[in-house]
Every structure is written in structure tokens, then in C-alpha cells.
Structure 1
Amino acid sequence: MKFDKKKYNISFIHKIIKNDLKNNKHLSVHTRFAPEPNGYLHIGHAKAIVLNFELAQQFKGKCNLRFDDTNPNTENLKYINAIKYDILWLGYKWYQKTRYTSYYFNQIYQYALQLIKKNLAYVDKLKKNEIREYRGTLNTPGTNSPYRNQSIEENIFLFEQMKKGNIPEGYACLRAKINMHSPFIILRDPVLYRIKFTQHHQTKLLWCIYPTYDFAHCISDAIEGITHSLCTLEFQDNRRLYNWILNNINISHHTYQYEYSRLNLEYSILSKRKLKILIQNNIINDWKDPRIPTISGLRARGYTASSIINFCNKIGVTKQKNLIEFSTLEHCIRSELNKTAYRTMAILNPIEVILYNIPNQYEEIINIFNHPNNPNMGSKNIIFNNTIYIERSDFQEYPQKKYYRLTLEQPVKLKYSYIITAKYIEKDKNQNINKIFCTCNLKNIKNKKKYGIIHWISKKQSIKSEFRLYNHIFNVKNPEYQKNILSIINTNSKIIKYGFINSSIHINSLISTYQFERIGYFFKDMNLSNGKYIIFHQTVSIKNTHKHL
């Protein structure tokens, strides 16, 4: 993908890199995207992908893909494959081979031994809750572990026993020896290694001790020659540990970490842990559910790679914490689909209309453009005859004020067609309207009177379809800060309607994105569609609104 300078907001990180190159701090730029393979990527990861890959492109550098695979309990190949697919789908290609932190386990282990030999790390036998208790709080200093002053020889022996699997899981860990009185809790003897008797997707059963993210991440960056390690602001304090580790091991390259604000999106959560809660409680189907802002979910809903990249470029990169309006994301896909989406008519909540003054054998072919502003997209033929479907909401027996659609007293114009006038209605036993009987003026009389315009489909040219409409899954703007996310679920986040589309869509089977006129932009599901129904996911409304039919 070619870097587009016009679309990208020049950030403080750009300025840092420019200055570093100008002062010969680095000869070239080398970034990385380092996801943990314990879930699917979301829109926040997309921001990191766009930032790292496009920085590398702009400065003619390299960008690595490295999986942070240091916790075999939560990681698997399914997530690795999904992450790779998402990155490639967005249009980016990483430098050379895919990398894994596990490739460096031998080196990381040797660096841990270096710290022990320098009396800067020790094997602790405190339990997990005791370590937390000894660490203190923001207002109270920590307390030294009773194992902190073990001899170097004893720590080397115990660490080797951990590696050989001779110490049970949870009975020991390796900690850095820094400062239990530090005002930064991250520096109060953080854990560097822990025991996990779980098979790893890359190393299988070769290892039973695994480095923590903080210990492995900075070393992996340095081994790969990363020049600018970019992460979000919650890792700001971690930079102190990042630098401490690299300053105290014998490694030639020193990577520098820079932080920017994480993406917070209205009515959405980006925490993989919380997304798992939604899956476990059957609030959503899976990581690909169109209601959540995973890249897979957005793709299933009809978002394009370019719209997601444009969104990331539009919001930019700063250190300021903010909550991005969901409408900003919608604007990016709406403005794109407005230019590219194939127009057609669909009826989501149908009611049958009989034009009883037109003979049964009457049939007229009307040719209309697939896009009003792009004749190159071709045209299609639609059928007009005496039996059609219109939206149920386009007729009112007892009309409200300023209702400009069909009533028993008010005619309307069928789009691309004629003016119809409702004469009487037919109801079922529950007093629901079954059919509307109308007359139609087939004479193209030039009438200066303005009529409301509604869309329609000939019954003869209709195909049964299922329409899946989506609203926000949460009913509060900032659900990330809610303790119980299950208490703020919007029960109407998914609405299914059964109606009809024009059969021309079925003919154009290779087209997947449509604007259903007067309704919104929809994405045809190529995987779920079957002989009974064609399934459409609502991508976004035509206007900035979340009200559905």
C-alpha cells in the first residue's frame, strides 16, 4: 500500500522520527506490530497497524509482525491466522517472515541469567496474592520479599529447577530486584518469569517457564533492531522498566518506546477480556459479530479496508485521551459507499399494493441507472405491473401531521414510475392491514404538484430476503468504565426483518455492497445466504441516525 501523505495527519511521532533521522540517531526506521494472539484484532489494533506500517512506508523503513506469544494459556493458532488475515486484508505486508517472541526464548532466558548473576534478579517463592500484598499501594511503599537476599548461586540453582520443571506451577517466579520503595509500582520488583505447564503453539513442551510481557517485549524489540517501539499510554510507566531492563543486560541495540493515546470509541468496548464476556454470555455470536468493532466484525458488516484506514488517519495520533464519536467511523464508510455502492430498491417490512385499474397482463419495463452519478456502473431493468410491495411505514390509515406519504386521501409517486392513489384497504382478523387497493395514473401528465416519493418492488420481480439491522450494543456512550457491562446491554442491538429485494440483485451475484434507496447501505452475506433467503447486513444508514424502520 502506497503512503498517502495528504490523508495522514502528521503526528508528534512523525516529528520525533524526522528529528532522529536528521541527527543520525538512527540510520533508518524499523517499527513493529506486536499483538498477543489471544483474540481477534479490533479497531484499536487497526490504529496501531496503520500507524506502524505507514510510518515505515513514509520513511522507507521496515515494519515487523511479531506475535507476543508469552502466555500459552490464552493463545492459539486460530487467533494467529485471524490476525494475519486482518493485516493482509487491510492491505499491509510485514517485513520478511512472521516473527514470534518464542523464537527468542533461549536468548531471553540467558538475559535473565545475566540479571541473576548481577544480583539484579531473584527467585521468589511468595504466592501470587502475597506478591501483590508486599508490593504496596500508590500511597504506601512495598515490602521486601523474604527471598530477596538469597545468594546468586541459590537463585541460579532455583531458576534452573524452574526451567527443568522441578518446581510446581505457582510455587516460584523470577523477579527483578529494583526498588520496593519506588513511587512507580511497576519498578517494585516486577515478575520476569513464571511457571506454566501448558503446551505452546510454537515451542510445544520445550519450555515450562515463560517470560512476562514486560521482560520479553523490550528484549525482542532490541533483538530485531526496532528503532521506535510504539504503544498506548497505559504502558507509559512500563517504559521505566523497559529502559531498566535494556540498560542492565548486555545487548547492543537499545530501542526507545513512545506512547500515544489509545482509541476509545463511543458505545463500544475494545478490551478483549470484556469482549470474551459478551461471547461467553451469548450477547454476541463470536469475534466476527457485526455489532462489535473487531476488524472481522466490521468486515462482516460491510466496512471496507480503505474506510477503516481513512478513519484511523482521520482521528490521528496524539497523547490526548478522548472519546471518538461513532459517527466519525460511520462517516468514513458512508462517504465511500455513496460513491461506489450499487443502487437498488428493497422492501424490509412489506405490504402488498394492488393497482386494480391496471390489467393483470399489463407489464412495463423501466430502465434505471445502477448509480445516479456514475453511468459507468451500468443500468438495470425493473418491472412495473399491477401488484407491488411498498414499505408498511409508507402508508398510514390515520396519518400524523406532516406525513407526506400514502394515505387514503393523499397520493404518492412511485420512484421512477407513476402516481398512485389509495382507495380502500383490506384487514385481517387482528385488524392489521393486509393489502392496499389503489388506482394508478399511467398517463405521464406533467403535473407541477409535488408528491411524496416512495420506493417499491414488483411482486413478480421480488426475492425473499432477510435484513439484519444493527444498533449500538451498549446503551451508554462510554461502556469501558462500567463495572458490569452486562447491565448496559442494548436489547435491540440486532433487529431482523423479512422482506424482498429486486431480483436484479440475484442476477448480479458478484456485487456485495448496495444502497437500498431511502433505507441505507447493506452488505450481502456470501456465506450465510441460502436458497430460502438472501441475507443482508446493514452497514450504515444513509444519514447519521440510528433509527430503523
Structure 2
Amino acid sequence: MVSETISNFIHDIIDEDIAGGLKERIHTRFPPEPNGYLHIGSAKAIWINYSTAMKYGGLFNLRYDDTNPVREDDEYVKSIEEDLTWLGAIPNGGIYYGSDYFDQCYEYAVKLIKDSKAYVCDLSPDELREYRGTLTQPGKESPYRNRCVEENLDLFERMKNGEFPDGSKTLRAKIDMASPNMNMRDPAIYRIVRAHHHRQGDKWCIYPLYDFAHPIQDAIEGITHSLCSLEFENHRPLYDWVVNNIDFEKKPHQYEFARLNITHTVMSKRYLRELVETGRVDGWDDPRMPTLCALRRRGYTPASILEFVKRAGVAKSNSLVDLKLLEYCIREELNAAAPRRMAVTEPLKVVITNYPQDQEEYFSISNNPVDPQSGVREVPFTRELYIEKSDFAEVPPPKFQRLKLGGEVRLMGSYIIKCNEVIKDANNEIIELRCTCDLEAKNAMPLDGRKVKGTIHWVSAKYAVDASVMLYDNLFTLENVNDIPEGKNYLDFLNPNSLTVLKDCKLEPSLKDAKPGDKFQFVRMGYFCKDSKNTNAFNRIVTLKDSFKV
């Protein structure tokens, strides 16, 4: 995990707290709800909380926000810890579950009732919305707001004991129905939900709501700075109300930062789940998805993701970050680190007619010109080869420097060849090129001094490894999927060309032993990763170049 970071407004706040006499060890947390897989926006929250704790020699907790049993599952619990481990964000403060504090949350709710600061309300969900008011009109007090303490205690215990139907009653904080902040208009802090909990089983049929449980969990764990995204800014007064009215000795405080919004991408778990459940993508780890498991499968590295988050910055106002910045970060890393390999994705057969049929030889080709220490590999050369279809043009456009009829080109690291004949099938499609090679110009300049400008990659037909290559594009055609035109749905902007599968590609033999997750630069083609799900398939991580400027 990259912990080094430039100072930001959160660090400025902490510096001021320390200067003002704060003696406690800085303590942060990441509180994901285990109802889906983490996405790259989660990586920002992880990085901010983790790197902040590390900068000040503090503690970082992982706490599962499992207060809503309806969609939570152990599958998501395991995936979240796996993603944190992959990113390198080791929770040195411990791993916790919000559900571990249910008994304490219940006791604190009872305390609020005894202090006349909470009451049981019988309003239906529709009535609650009606009584809440609007942004311009104050809410109305519930007819049950002034129940006596004894009645509220009795009703709340009976709620816990399962005597009432789901949704028939709520426990509400008694605050201010005329507050300009609608979150303070007697918010519900407990509701009745009969659902099996992944850890607590069927012990509870009432569950605390996030806005009530979260500050309690922070206070119990000794969190000093509760760092969360900007959509919780209006919830901060309720956070403080809970902390202050339960009378915690050490009071955590909430601070908000702008969430990560990326072009051509959705971050809503609801949307991501819909894409998975409707089969529009190949699961949570589909390489087109913004989930961390999908980015890992596609070939992105923890360092590239964290560098992207770092470059995107920590701010107080929302903005839209160009997806090309993420691509730049992985491209920059892999340019230095990825071994080079030759792969022909749309093969066209080439027969070298003056090369002996039974002859074979090997050429030493650099593994990575950027890294001399990476050494070389031996690549077999035979009479029959494959080149890219796009590297030959029967009628070449202007300035075409690849192979054409009667023209010459260098095969990377080996011979210069000349195309003498084009073989076509019954449909007039080119199926084979007959060429000759300059046997005197083996990986060298021609003896007669002629200049050959073009260089193309190739693969021996005899030793080629068959594979599929998956080419990915943006999942959505709309740049800002958070700003959907009126009358449209986000699904209206799904890119029908977000995945192109190239079958029967021909790869150099060294790729035969590639393991899932291994990354390469396919020369002249882009950066690729061996897929972890499909046998003999490689995912394009990113193209070789783009026009993005940092």
C-alpha cells in the first residue's frame, strides 16, 4: 500500500487537533457494507483512511457495516478482506463487525428512551414520509411522539421480542421536526426486520439504522477521525447528536471528502448489482466493471490504482475524473515492468518460400528494452509464420510502411522479407502471402544498403500457442453516468461494443506457461493479462498509447 501522500485538508485538520492538545493516537476506519464487492471508489476511501493513519503512526480498522441483514452475505465479507489485503491496507487496529455491537446499541437506545430522547412510533413508512415535511416546509410531530417513558420502554422491548409485524413500528430519536436539516427531523434509529443475519443468525428482529449505529461503533473503537464521503455531510449533525447524547467520554468526529466519480463508469452498488443479476456482465469480476476484483482480473495492479487515487486528489467538492488517468497510471507502471511478447491477434499466414522447409532457428529478442536487466528470450523462426492482417495491404494507403505486394518489411528481431504473391480463397479473401527473406540480412542492415522502414511482429506457425484475446472498451457510452438525461435510464447508455473477443489468436510459445494474472506487453498491440477465469485467454488491460496528458 502506498502510504506516502501529499498533505490535504484532512491532514491540516489533524495537525490543528494535535497542535490544540490532542493526545490520542490517530485512529481511522473503513466501514464497508458487505452487500456487494468493493469498487475503485472504495479504494479512495481505503487509501485516505489507511494512509492518514500511517502518516501519523496511528491505527486503521476494518469494520463491516453489517447492520442491514437483507442483502449481506459472507461472500462479500471474504471479498472485502481479500481486496484490502491485495491493496496492502492491513488493518493494524483490528477487524470488527458492526453486528458485534448490537447489544450495546440496544442498551444505548434504551438509555435514550429513559432520557426522553427517543420514542416508539406507529406511523407507517408512507406516513413517516408525509410527516417528515419537505426542504421548504417543516415536518409534523408524530401523534406518538409524547408517549411516556414506561410505554416506550415496554413497546421497544416487545419490538425486540418479535411481537409486532415488520415495518409496523420504529424507534425514533426525539430531536426537532422543524429542523432545516431533514436528517434531524426525529430520524428512525431502529426498525423491525425479520431476516437471517450472516453472523447473528435469528437472534434479532430489530436492527439499528446506520446513522445511529455508526457513531456508536466509532466511539467504542476509539476512532478519532471518522473519514467518509461527501454524501454523509448532512448526516454529521445526527452523528454528533448520537455521540453527545449517549455521553461517550471520547467523542469521535466525522469529516467528509469528495467521492470518486470517473468518466464512463457507475459506482452505485445498486446499479452494479443489477448489471450482474441481469447477466449484462460476467459477474462482479467482469473486467469491464469498476470493482476491485474486476480490475485485478483485468490486470490492474494495486500500485496503479493507488497512484490513480492519489493523483485524483482529496477535495471537499465533487468532480469527474477522466478514466484515462487510471489507464495512464497502469501504462506507466507496465511500460517499465512488463515483459515483451509477440502475439498475432488476427493472423494471416506467411510462407517464406526460400527458407528450407525443415529448417528452424532461434532469435534472441529482448524481454524489455526499458529494462536491460530483464535479459532476452529465444524465439523460434520457421518457414511458415503468422503476421497481423492489418500489417499487409494489397492496395496500401499513403505512407504505409508495412508489408505490401512487392514491398519489404523487417520481421522483428529477425529477417527482412519481401511479398511476392498473394493467395486468395473462393470469396476473394486473402488467406496466405508467399514471401522470400533476405538470408544475408539476418537482424542486420541489407548488404546493398537499401533502407527498409517498417518492422512488424510475427509468430512461428509451428510453435504458435492458440489463445483468445479479450478487448475491452468503456462499459458506458455516456461520459458522466451520474448526469443521465431526463427520460433515460443508465442502461440506455451501455456500450454494445464494450467487449470484443478475438479467437484463434497466435502467440509466441513462451506464453504457453503464462499463469493467471501474469502481465505482458504484446508488442505493438497493448498490455495484456492472462485471464483467471477462461482457459487460454488474455485480457487487454490497456492500449499501448493514448493522448492523455498529466
What is the TM-score with the length of structure 1 in the denominator? 0.95
Could you tell me how far apart the structure 1 residues matched to 2:64 and 2:514 are? 40
In the other structure, the counterpart of 1:538 is 540
- The 5 Å alignment of 1:367-406 reads 367-406=364-403
Shift of residue 405 of structure 1?
1.5
Equivalent residue in structure 1 for 2:189, among 189, 192, 195? 192
Equivalent residue in structure 1 for 2:499, among 489, 494, 497? 494
1:88 matched to 2:90? The reply is no
Shift of residue 65 of structure 1?
0.8
User: In the TM superposition, what whole-angstrom CA distance separates every residue of 1:169-202 from its partner, at most 9, and x where no partner exists?
Assistant: 0111111111111111111111100011111111
1:514 matched to 2:514? The reply is no
Equivalent residue in structure 1 for 2:271, among 264, 270, 274? 274
User: Secondary structure at the residue paired with 2:320?
Assistant: coil
Answer whether contact 2:471 2:539 (CA < 8 A) is retained.
Answer: yes
Answer whether contact 2:516 2:529 (CA < 8 A) is retained.
Answer: no
Shift of residue 409 of structure 1?
4.0
Q: Which runs of 5+ in 1 are unaligned?
A: none
Answer whether contact 2:517 2:531 (CA < 8 A) is retained.
Answer: no
Answer whether contact 1:122 1:148 (CA < 8 A) is retained.
Answer: yes
Equivalent residue in structure 1 for 2:413, among 389, 412, 416? 416
Equivalent residue in structure 2 for 1:301, among 269, 290, 298? 298
Could you tell me how far apart the structure 2 residues matched to 1:190 and 1:411 are? 77
CA, structure 1 residues 510+82, in 2 after alignment: closer, same or farther (shift >3 Å)? Answer: closer
In the other structure, the counterpart of 2:170 is 173
In the other structure, the counterpart of 2:530 is 524
Answer whether contact 1:2 1:57 (CA < 8 A) is retained.
Answer: no
Could you tell me how far apart the structure 2 residues matched to 1:495 and 1:528 are? 15
User: Secondary structure at the residue paired with 1:122?
Assistant: strand
Answer whether contact 2:410 2:452 (CA < 8 A) is retained.
Answer: no
Could you tell me how far apart the structure 2 residues matched to 1:125 and 1:402 are? 79
- Percentage of identical aligned residues: 45
Equivalent residue in structure 1 for 2:74, among 77, 102, 118? 77
Answer whether contact 1:35 1:68 (CA < 8 A) is retained.
Answer: yes
Shift of residue 411 of structure 1?
2.1
Equivalent residue in structure 1 for 2:477, among 471, 475, 478? 475
CA, structure 1 residues 508+167, in 2 after alignment: closer, same or farther (shift >3 Å)? Answer: closer
Equivalent residue in structure 2 for 1:503, among 493, 503, 509? 509
Shift of residue 540 of structure 1?
0.9
In the other structure, the counterpart of 1:63 is 60
Could you tell me how far apart the structure 2 residues matched to 1:254 and 1:233 are? 21
Residue identity matched to 2:462: K
The more displaced of 363-372 and 40-49 is 363-372
- The 5 Å alignment of 1:219-238 reads 219-238=216-235
User: In the TM superposition, what whole-angstrom CA distance separates every residue of 1:280-329 from its partner, at most 9, and x where no partner exists?
Assistant: 22111111111011110000001111111111222221112111111111
The more displaced of 133-142 and 288-297 is 133-142
The more displaced of 383-392 and 510-519 is 510-519
User: In the TM superposition, what whole-angstrom CA distance separates every residue of 1:206-259 from its partner, at most 9, and x where no partner exists?
Assistant: 111000000000111011110000011110010011111111113212111000
Could you tell me how far apart the structure 2 residues matched to 1:342 and 1:422 are? 30
In the other structure, the counterpart of 1:316 is 313
User: Secondary structure at the residue paired with 1:105?
Assistant: helix
CA, structure 1 residues 443+291, in 2 after alignment: closer, same or farther (shift >3 Å)? Answer: same
User: In the TM superposition, what whole-angstrom CA distance separates every residue of 1:503-530 from its partner, at most 9, and x where no partner exists?
Assistant: 112246588111000001100124432x
Residue identity matched to 2:422: I
Shift of residue 129 of structure 1?
1.6
- The 5 Å alignment of 1:83-482 reads 83-444=80-441, 445-446=446-447, 447-482=449-484
Could you tell me how far apart the structure 2 residues matched to 1:129 and 1:400 are? 68
Shift of residue 360 of structure 1?
1.0
Could you tell me how far apart the structure 2 residues matched to 1:215 and 1:389 are? 65
Shift of residue 545 of structure 1?
6.8
The more displaced of 225-234 and 304-313 is 304-313
Residue identity matched to 2:121: D
Shift of residue 26 of structure 1?
3.9
Could you tell me how far apart the structure 1 residues matched to 2:145 and 2:514 are? 71
Residue identity matched to 1:455: H
Residue identity matched to 2:454: G
1:3 matched to 2:7? The reply is no
Shift of residue 45 of structure 1?
0.6
The more displaced of 61-70 and 132-141 is 132-141
Residue identity matched to 2:133: G
Answer whether contact 1:464 1:501 (CA < 8 A) is retained.
Answer: yes
User: In the TM superposition, what whole-angstrom CA distance separates every residue of 1:261-290 from its partner, at most 9, and x where no partner exists?
Assistant: 000011111111110111122111111111
User: Secondary structure at the residue paired with 1:57?
Assistant: helix
Could you tell me how far apart the structure 2 residues matched to 1:509 and 1:291 are? 21
Answer whether contact 1:269 1:275 (CA < 8 A) is retained.
Answer: yes
RMSD over aligned CA atoms reads: 1.6
What is the TM-score with the length of structure 2 in the denominator? 0.95
User: In the TM superposition, what whole-angstrom CA distance separates every residue of 1:1-36 from its partner, at most 9, and x where no partner exists?
Assistant: 5733xxx12110011111111221343200011100
Q: Which runs of 5+ in 2 are unaligned?
A: none
Say how many residue pairs are matched.
539
Answer whether contact 2:2 2:303 (CA < 8 A) is retained.
Answer: no
User: Secondary structure at the residue paired with 2:495?
Assistant: coil
Answer whether contact 1:475 1:488 (CA < 8 A) is retained.
Answer: yes
User: Secondary structure at the residue paired with 2:261?
Assistant: coil
Could you tell me how far apart the structure 2 residues matched to 1:170 and 1:106 are? 21
